[in-house]
Structures are given as C-alpha cells and as structure tokens.
Structure 1
Amino acid sequence: MSVALNILIALAVLALILTRQLRRRPVREEQPYRIMLVLGVVGLVETVQFHQHHDVSTSAWALLVASLAVGAGFGALRGMTVHVWREAGTLYRQGNVATLVLWIVGLGLHLSVDLLIKRVDADAAGLSNTAILLYLAITLGAQQALVLERAQHLAAEA
C-alpha cells in the first residue's frame, strides 16, 4: 500500500475516532480491544511490507519504537481525561477538550518522528507514517485500558 493511501486511510480512521471520542458512548466491556487488534494487525502488516521494500536501520526502528511508546503514554493520559460513569448498569465514557488536545499533540509527535527518521536514515523516510495504524492501535489500547481500570474503581465504590 502506498504511503499516501495509508495516510488517507489513517486520516479517515482518525476522523472517526476523534468524533467518537467527544460523544457520550457506551464502553464495550466484552471484547474491548477488538478494533485495536484489527488496527494493530493491519498496521503491523503495512510496517513489515515497508521493511521488505526499504533497508531500515536500527536507529530508525528505535525512533519508531520510541514513538509507539510515547503513543501509549499519551493514550494513558487521555484515558485519565475521559469522563467515565455507569448508568443503569452500562458503562459510559466521553472525552473532552483535554482529550482532543492530547490526541493532536500525540499524533503530531508521532508524525514528526518521520522527520527524525529521514535525518538518520533517508531510506526509511515514511516508516512512521506507514506505521500510523499501529500507532493508533497502541494509543487507543492504552486509553481503553485506563478507562476500564477506572471503571473497576467505579464498581468498587458502588
């Protein structure tokens, strides 16, 4: 898949994610990581395909892994900003402006990693952009984990 098409797909997924983040929505407590798994598998396949066509240095891989770790951190931070509550036995969540700001900053950092990768390994330019779906899977998974953890505390308090 071309980098441009990958970015277009990621932007469509991101638009869907951001609009859903700000709406009051029930949390899937059964199979809560299904969408993250799908995004992760597709992102991993695309990243492997990128590697098959480019000679990626260890430094470029290290920068990508660092960006994915930062994405997990931003996901955890967003998970703390999301309002979580139970209503009639159903768990709900709704993000806010802070959630949105953390999304924008986290994505900006991930995408800017490609500039660093290009400086240390010109042949690996585009690696971070190609791994955007993998990034989304990891950052969403971390956010979901925090939301579910916070929901456990709601149940204990009730």
Structure 2
Amino acid sequence: MFKVIQQQFVPVLIIIYIAFKQLRPKEIKVDSKGKYIILAIGIYDAYIAIANKQLIINYQTVLGLIFTLLILAGGFAFARAYTCQVWQKDGKFYRQGNYVTMILWIIMIISHAITDHIITGLGTTFVLYLGTSLVVQHLVLLNKIKNAN
C-alpha cells in the first residue's frame, strides 16, 4: 500500500506543487540547485529500477526513454519557458508562468502517463523525467535572460 502511495500519489503532489509555483512570480537564480538535485534523484531511481529489473533495457525502452526525456520532457520544458514572462527588477530577473504554462504541465504529465502504459517499467523514470524537464526549462530561461541583456 505504501509503495502505491509513494509511486503514484507523491509524484502527483510534487507536480501540482511545481505547476502552481510556476504561476507565481519567482526570481530566476543562475545557481539554482533544486532542479539538479531532482535530476540526480531521478538518475538514481532509474539506476535502482534497472538493477532491480523493474526497467529492462532493450530496444523498446531505450527508444521510450529517448522519446520521453528528449522530446516530451525537453520539448514541453522549452515551450513552458517561452510561455513565462521574464522581467528585471532591482537588478534581479523574475519569471512568471500563465495558464498556457499550466496547460503544458498537464499535457506533459498525461503524455508521460500514456508512455508509462505503453512501455513496461517506464513509470520508474518519472522523477528523471521531471528533473530533465525542470533543468531544460531553467536553462532556456537563463538563455532568455542572456538574450535580454
């Protein structure tokens, strides 16, 4: 029972928290570490899933990982970053998402859930998917700041 809560309920709560957090103004920090910590935890989770044979590496899972991590996570992150308003105040940069940002989060979650059902074991990569998406979005926002100067 606890494993079901951990695998399904906790990630959903994390996504809801992150998604709503993106609707509030937030300072963009160059040295932000949280996203990279989530990515590292996701890599570790994927490693454990492979070691425990929950995620079996074969042609289908490799293609699934490429599709979910590069195309879905990266693509939606790129799009979300461009839906965020970025501005400068008191020498600091801020960002705030909008309803389109929220819709893209929802579509991203649904897309990952669909791929989870198509490819056995891919559900174990959800934190990796989330971390990848957050890091890509952050890098795109940093690029927007760089181009704004």
> Structure 1 length normalisation: TM-score?
0.84
Code of the residue aligned with 1:110 in structure 2: it is H
Q: How does 1:12-23 map to 2 (within 5 A)?
A: 12-23=13-24
Provide the C-alpha distance between the structure 2 equivalents of 1:7 and 1:100, rounded to a whole number of angstroms. Answer: 20
Unmatched segments (≥5 aa) in structure 1: 118-124
The number of equivalent residue pairs is 145
Q: Secondary structure at the match of 2:7?
A: helix
- Which one of the candidate residues 116, 127, 135 is aligned to 1:133? 127
Q: Secondary structure at the match of 1:131?
A: helix
- The match for 2:59 is 58
Contact 2:20 2:102 in 1 (8 A): no
| Alpha-carbon RMSD | 1.7
State the 1:143 CA deviation: 0.9
State the 1:113 CA deviation: 0.4
- The match for 1:102 is 104
Provide the C-alpha distance between the structure 2 equivalents of 1:43 and 1:3, rounded to a whole number of angstroms. Answer: 18
Contact 1:7 1:129 in 2 (8 A): no
1:146 aligns with 2:140: yes
Q: Displaced runs of 4+ in structure 1, greater than 4 A?
A: none
- The match for 2:93 is 91
State the 1:3 CA deviation: 5.7
Provide the C-alpha distance between the structure 2 equivalents of 1:24 and 1:59, rounded to a whole number of angstroms. Answer: 40
The percent of aligned pairs where both chains have the same amino acid is: 23
Deviates further, 128-137 or 55-64 = 55-64
Provide the C-alpha distance between the structure 2 equivalents of 1:68 and 1:3, rounded to a whole number of angstroms. Answer: 23
Provide the C-alpha distance between the structure 2 equivalents of 1:154 and 1:42, rounded to a whole number of angstroms. Answer: 32
- The match for 2:43 is 44
State the 1:92 CA deviation: 0.5
Please give the per-residue CA displacement for 1:8-27, whole angstroms capped at 9, x wherever unaligned: 33122212211110001111
Change (3 A) 1:69 1:58: same
Please give the per-residue CA displacement for 1:72-102, whole angstroms capped at 9, x wherever unaligned: 1110111111000001111100000111111
State the 1:142 CA deviation: 1.1
Contact 1:7 1:130 in 2 (8 A): no
Please give the per-residue CA displacement for 1:117-155, whole angstroms capped at 9, x wherever unaligned: 1xxxxxxx2x22211111111111111111111111222
